[in-house]
Structure 1
Amino acid sequence: MSWQHDTMMNPAIEDLTTRAEESKFKLVTLGATRARQINSYFGQLGEGLGTLVPPQVTSVARKPLSIAFEEIAADKIVPVDPPTEEELAEAAAAEAAAAADAAALEAEQGDGAS
């Protein structure tokens, strides 16, 4: 007869770390960030702003971190790596080129209207 003790941590930490790419640090960051978002959502409910994403799972938990962990376990929230320095530099260069093209086009249109 197998009996398993029901822990306070539900879902299990092992299940959560597999969803956070086997990194406890990513799990902590992801859970804390989402818990802050959930807390802010509940805080602004009376104001009617509706700019924040509500909890993505039905939960009996009352604490934002527990709800965040349940969302991670249900694959509703996934970790995303921040962009690298090279990606940021490429995006900045592309934005600068687009701004230069727009300025050149505006200058051409301004000369033709005179």
Structure 2
Amino acid sequence: AARRAREINSYFNQLGEGLGTMVPPQVSSTSRKPLSISFEEIAADKILSVPLSVYEELEAELDEELLDA
């Protein structure tokens, strides 16, 4: 939930800067706090848990692709 809250916060901070790369909130919410929104996403089964090792592997692959481009 905390990681997703940071992603939501980054999404809101990048609005208005052109094309975004962050995934927007997946639920309609009246809450303004990223952590509350992330808990609502989890409760609505919109977010899947990914083991940290898999997440780190995907992130490393993306970094490699960006460096090669």
TM-score normalised by structure 1 residue count:
0.45
> How far, CA to CA, are the matches of 1:34 and 1:57 in structure 2?
13
Which ranges in structure 1 are unaligned for 5 or more consecutive residues? 1-30, 89-114
Q: Which runs of 4+ in 1 moved over 4 A?
A: none
Matched residue, 2:24? 54
Among candidates 43, 46, 65, match of residue 35 of structure 2: 65
Q: Which has the higher contact order (CA 8 A, sep 6+)?
A: 2
Render the CA deviation track for 1:49-75: whole Å, top value 9, x for unaligned. Answer: 211000000000000000000000000
Q: What is the root-mean-square deviation of aligned Cα atoms in Å?
A: 1.7
1:81 Cα deviation from its structure 2 partner: 1.4
Of the two, which has the highest radius of gyration?
1
**1:76 counterpart residue number:** 46
Report % sequence identity: 71
- What residue ranges of structure 2 are gaps of 5+ in the alignment? 58-69
Output the amino acid matched with 2:26: Q
